[in-house]
Amino acid sequence: MTKYIYLLAIVILASACGGGESDLDAKKESLSELKSQSVELQAQIKALEKEIAESDPSFLEATNNSVLVTAITVKPEAFLHKIEIRGGVESRTNVTVSAKVPGEIKTVYVKEGQRVKAGQALMVLDDEVTRNNIAELETALELAIIVAEKQANLWEKNIGTEIQYLQAKNNKESLERKLTTAKSQLRQNRIEAPFSGTIDAVIAKKGEMAQPGMPLLRIVNPDDVHVNADVSERYIGKFKKADPVEIYFPSQDKKLTSIIKSVGQVVNSQNRTFELEIYLPTLDFAVKPNQVVVLNLKDYQNDEAYILPTKLIQKDQMGSYVYEIVKNGDNTVAKKLHVETGLSFNNETEILKGVKKDQKIAFKGYRELSEGAMVKLLIEGATETNANTAAK
């Protein structure tokens, strides 16, 4: 190094003392000698870098201007897209019980939260008038039966007229039908459970007047529940019976997997949706009708898709692009690769056009890249130079 400094001093001194053409010739000669020495120095630098890199690969990475990146190799794989919609827990056995005949409520047998069986008495309306009517009819029927029998005996002996026989018979049969109707009305004064379940609400109270159609109680069977959801008509044809569904219960912070039980065949003209019914298996936690749930349903699947992390996809005036890592002579460089994207789900995007199998796409370090930038490809923590060693 002292030699080079001495030579440079001579050049400067000659420039200061000399003049004219002799100075110019001296400068040219010095430049030629310096260039020759520069070539020698570069060769020595490369040799030293190679020796150091063999012992310390990180030294070469630190002195190189290439961008350090990792890459993803494009391979076909399954891509799944799901939509999230809100639904609700429903029960077909969630009904309000009402009276069929008018009457004052005389007795209430149940209270809220009580379990009941199908046919069990829940309330009784005032049935005094009906019972009195039944008693009168029974008395009248007893007489009518006797009269009808006597008229029949007389008619068999050709005593009396046929019309007398027919009138006695008709009177008996009429009273029998009236008695049957009265007993049916008596049963209607007894409000019974239409199915087994739990009393959710007692709406009417003792002493109030019940009218036909007036809600008296609400009964529900919490074991007979399913999930219903209204889905936009844009998804017609996307779902079918037995498709898997993920159900999330926000109130309990619980998740489970079920299947579609049925797909509605009619679009609601008001909100342009069709209905999905989801089977609800036996649960180890309580749910209630009208409870809100969140459903995740698969609406698209491609088992041979090219998928890239969504964050790698950038945009320019020509559209969406990613950086492909390619060889350019002895160098490895980044190249813009314009792509056509499809659906995205869970931070992944399906690439419809623009990529091929086994292409390498920049992953870590992609934000530092530009078109044609030199890169140093890291594989499993090693540089491309040591890729084979790392692979082993």
Residues 167 and 155: their CA atoms lie apart, in Å, by: 12
Compute the radius of gyration of the chain from its Cα atoms.
Answer: 47
Strongest mean pLDDT among 123-137, 152-166, 221-235: 221-235
Q: Is the pLDDT of residue 392 over 50?
A: no
Q: Across residues 158-170, what is the average pLDDT? A: 80
Confidence band (pLDDT; 50, 70, 90) for 59?
Answer: low
Q: Which of 13-22, 56-65, 172-181, 372-381 has the highest mean pLDDT?
A: 172-181
Distance, in Å, from the CA atom of 49 to the CA atom of 3, rounded to the nearest integer, reads 23
- Predicted local confidence at residue 50, as pLDDT: 67
Task: Report, as an integer, the average pLDDT of 360-369.
Answer: 93
215 in Cβ contact with 240 (< 8 Å): no
DSSP 266: S
pLDDT band of 330, cuts 50, 70, 90? confident
Q: Residue 257: helix, strand or coil by DSSP?
A: strand
State pTM to two decimals: 0.58
From residue 356, alpha-carbon distances to 260, 311, 351 in Å are: 37, 19, 10
Q: How high is the mean pLDDT of the chain?
A: 84
Q: What is the pLDDT of residues 75-122, one digit of tens each?
A: 999 999 999 999 999 988 889 999 988 999 999 999 999 999 999 999
Structural contact between residues 365 and 379, judged by C-beta atoms closer than 8 angstroms: no
| Top-confidence residue, 352 or 377 | 352
Would you mind telling me the total number of residues written for the chain in this entry?
Answer: 392
**Is the confidence at residue 381, as pLDDT, over 50?**
no
Of 113, 48, 67, 3, nearest to 365 (Cα)?
67
Q: What's the average model confidence in pLDDT over 230-236?
A: 94
Compute φ and ψ for 4, nearest 5 degrees.
Answer: -70, -35
The correct CATH number of 83-92+224-302 out of 1.20.120.1730, 3.90.79.10, 1.10.10.10, 2.40.30.170 is: 2.40.30.170
pLDDT of residue 53: 60
Confidence band, pLDDT 50/70/90 cuts, at residue 389: very low
Provide φ and ψ at 220, rounded to 5°.
Answer: -140, 145
pLDDT tens per residue across span 209-226:
999 989 999 999 878 889
Over residues 43-62, mean pLDDT: 65
Task: Identify the CATH class of 98-217.
Answer: mainly beta
**107 bridge partner residues:** 124
Q: Give the separation between CA 245 and CA 243, rounded to whole angstroms.
A: 7
pLDDT average, residue stretch 8-13: 51
Average pLDDT for 349-370: 94
Amino acid at 339: V
Report the range of poorest mean pLDDT among 14-18, 101-105, 381-385. Answer: 381-385
Residues 202, 112: Cα–Cα separation, whole Å: 6
Amino acid occupying residue 164: Q
Domain 58-74+313-391 identical in fold to domain 83-92+224-302: no
**Percent of the chain scored above 70 by pLDDT?**
87
pLDDT of residue 12: 53
pLDDT at residue 383, rounded to an integer? 34
What residues does each domain of the chain span? 2-55, 58-74+313-391, 83-92+224-302, 98-217
Among candidates 288, 389, 370, 388, which has minimal Cα distance to 69? 370
- The proportion of the chain whose per-residue pLDDT surpasses 90, expressed as a percent, equals 50
Percent of the chain that is helix, strand, coil (3-state, to 5): 35, 40, 30
Here the tokens at position 303 are: 């088992």
Nearest to 208 by CA among 97, 95, 99: 99
- Per-residue exposure over 72-86, b if at least 16 CB sit within 10 Å of its own CB, e if not: bebeeeebbbbbebe
Taking the domain 58-74+313-391, which CATH number applies?
A: 2.40.420.20
